[in-house]
C-alpha cells in the first residue's frame, strides 16, 4: 500500500466543490472549526434537502463498535440517494485500522464515511490507509492558503476585502481559525454587501472588540477558562450592574440553546435564522460557539444564571460576589 501525504483543508474543499467525493474522509488536526466546516460542505453536496434527515447518521466512537458503523455504511440509503455517516472521537478505532482498511478495499458507492480524530499523533498510520480514504489535515493555514480561505469565506457572504486588510488577516490564519471566523462574521455584519472591507474597518472592529470585555468574557465562559473568566468578570463588574451581567449571560446561553436545538433537528442555518429572527451572521456565530458546549452545559448555565439572579434579588448572595460564584460553578463543572 502506497503512503501518501494528507490533503490540506483547502485542497479537500476544492475537490468536494468539484464533485470529487471520497468514500471516506479521515480528519486529523486540532482545528474543530475546519472539521465542522468540511462536514457541512459534504452534507450540502451529498444530501438533497428532502432526504437529509433520513440519510445523515452521526455516531460517537466511544459508544458504538466500528463493525456497527460499517454495517450502517453498507446499508442502502433511503430513496436511492447517498448516505453520509459521521463518527466523532474516532480515536477509539485506532487499534482497528485493519478492519477499516478491509472496508475501504470495496467501499459502497452510496456512502461517504467521515472519521473525526481528535489527534494526529499516528499520522504515519493514517498515511497507510487504502486509497479510498482521503486524509485531511485540519490545522492552521499558511499565509497563502489563509488568504484564499478568507477571500472565499467573505465572498460566500457577499463581501469583499481590500488587499491590505487581507494581508493583515492572512497573518492570523495560522492561529485560532474559529476566532478568525468570528471576526470575519462581525466584519460581514458591519459591511453591507457588496461593500469592501478595508484596513481601517478591520482596525476599528479590532479596537472595539478588544475594548469591550463582554465579548472576551463570554468567550472565556464558553471555553470554561476559569482564570480568564474571573479576571474579565471583575472588569465587567467595575462598569456594569451584576443583574445586567447575569442578564447578558442568560441571553447569550438562551441564544445558544435555541440554535443548538434547531441544528439537532437538522435545520439549516438559513432556516434557523428564520425560526429565531436572528441574523444569518448571528446564527453562524452561535452554531460555532454552541459546538464547543454540550446541551447539558447550556442547560446548566441557564440554571445557574437563574439561581444567581434570584440570589441577588432576594439578598441571599452579595451582588459583588455572585458573578464570581456563577463563573466558578460553571467553569469548574
Residue in 158, 46, 167 with CA at minimum distance from that of residue 113 = 46
Question: Under 8 Å CB-to-CB from 85, ≥6 apart: which residues?
Answer: 57, 58, 59, 69, 72, 73, 111, 112, 113, 114
* Short-list 149, 120, 99, CA closest to 27: 120
Domain limits of the chain? 7-137, 143-211, 213-331
Is 143-211 in the same CATH topology as 7-137? no
pLDDT tens digits for 39-62? 989 998 998 888 888 899 999 998
Distance (Å, rounded) from C-alpha 304 to C-alpha 250?
Answer: 9
Q: Which of residues 141 and 166 earns the better pLDDT score?
A: 166
CA pair distance 283, 268, nearest whole angstrom: 10
Cα angle: 37, vertex 39, 43; to 5 degrees: 115
- Under CATH, which number does the domain 213-331 receive? 1.20.272.10
Report pTM.
0.61
Instruction: Classify domain 143-211 at the CATH topology level.
Output: Helicase, Ruva Protein; domain 3 (1.10.8)
Using one digit for the tens of pLDDT, what is the confidence trace for 281-313? 677 778 888 888 888 999 999 999 999 888 888
- pLDDT for 194: 58
Q: Report d(CA 67, CA 32) in Å as an integer.
A: 26
Average pLDDT over residues 104-133: 80
Specify the DSSP element, H or E, that contains 7: strand 7-8
- DSSP H or E segment with residue 153: helix 143-155
Instruction: Round to whole Å and give the CA distance between 4 and 11.
Output: 14
pLDDT given for residue 222 in this prediction: 86
Cell numbers 480568564 label which residue?
228
**pLDDT at residue 3, rounded to an integer:** 44
From the list 38, 37, 1, the residue with the least C-alpha distance to 22 is: 38
Give CA–CA dist 185/182, Å, rounded. Answer: 5
CB atoms within 10 A of CB 28: 22
CA dist., res. 247 & res. 195, Å (int):
34
Rounded distance, CA 60 to CA 115, Å? Answer: 10
Fold (topology level) of 7-137:
Rossmann fold (3.40.50)
User: What was the pLDDT predicted at 1?
Assistant: 40
Please give the pLDDT value at position 112.
96
Q: What is the pLDDT of residues 59-74, one digit of tens each?
A: 999 889 999 999 999 9
Q: For 178-195, what is the mean pLDDT?
A: 73
187, 197 contact by CB (below 8 A): yes
pLDDT at 176 > cutoff 80: no
Task: Give percent of the chain with pLDDT exceeding 90.
Answer: 25
The predicted structure's pLDDT at residue 207: 58
Amino acid at each position: 500500500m502506497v503512503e501518501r501525504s494528507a490533503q490540506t483543508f483547502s485542497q479537500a474543499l476544492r475537490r468536494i466543490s468539484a464533485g470529487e467525493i471520497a468514500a471516506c474522509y479521515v480528519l486529523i488536526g486540532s482545528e474543530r472549526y475546519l472539521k465542522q466546516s468540511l462536514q457541512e460542505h459534504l452534507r450540502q453536496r451529498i444530501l438533497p434537502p428532502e432526504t437529509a434527515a433520513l440519510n445523515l447518521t452521526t455516531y460517537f466512537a466511544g459508544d458504538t463498535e466500528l463493525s456497527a458503523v460499517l454495517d450502517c455504511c453498507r446499508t442502502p440509503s433511503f430513496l436511492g440517494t447517498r448516505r453520509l455517516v459521521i463518527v466523532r472521537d474516532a480515536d477509539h478505532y485506532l487499534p482497528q485500522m485493519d478492519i477499516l482498511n478491509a472496508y475501504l478495499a470495496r467501499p459502497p458507492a452510496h456512502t461517504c464515511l467521515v472519521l473525526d480524530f481528535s489527534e494526529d499523533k499516528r499520522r504515519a498510520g493514517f498515511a497507510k490507509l487504502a486509497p479510498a480514504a482521503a486524509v485531511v489535515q485540519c490545522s492552521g493555514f499558511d499565509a497563502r492558503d489563509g488568504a484564499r480561505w478568507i477571500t472565499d469565506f467573505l465572498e460566500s457572504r457577499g463581501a469583499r476585502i481590500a488587499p491590505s486588510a487581507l494581508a493583515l488577516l492572512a497573518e492570523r490564519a495560522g492561529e485560532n481559525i474559529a476566532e478568525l471566523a468570528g471576526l470575519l462574521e462581525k466584519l460581514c455584519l458591519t459591511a453591507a454587501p457588496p461593500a469592501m472591507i478595508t484596513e481601517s474597518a478591520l482596525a476599528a472592529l479590532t479596537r472595539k472588540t478588544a475594548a469591550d470585555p463582554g465579548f472576551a468574557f463570554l468567550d472565556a465562559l464558553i471555553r470554561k477558562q476559569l482564570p480568564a473568566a474571573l479576571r474579565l468578570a471583575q472588569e465587567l463588574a467595575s462598569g456594569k450592574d451584576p443583574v445586567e451581567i447575569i442578564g447578558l449571560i442568560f441571553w447569550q446561553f438562551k441564544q445558544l440553546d435555541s440554535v443548538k436545538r434547531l441544528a439537532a433537528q437538522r435545520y439549516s442555518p438559513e432556516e434557523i435564522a428564520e425560526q429565531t429572527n436572528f441574523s444569518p451572521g448571528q446564527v453562524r456565530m452561535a452554531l460555532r460557539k454552541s459546538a464547543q458546549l454540550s446541551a447539558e452545559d447550556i442547560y446548566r448555565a441557564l440554571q445557574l444564571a437563574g439561581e444567581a439572579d434570584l440570589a441577588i434579588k432576594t439578598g441571599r448572595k452579595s451582588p459583588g460576589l455572585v458573578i464570581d460564584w456563577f463563573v466558578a460553578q460553571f467553569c469548574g463543572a
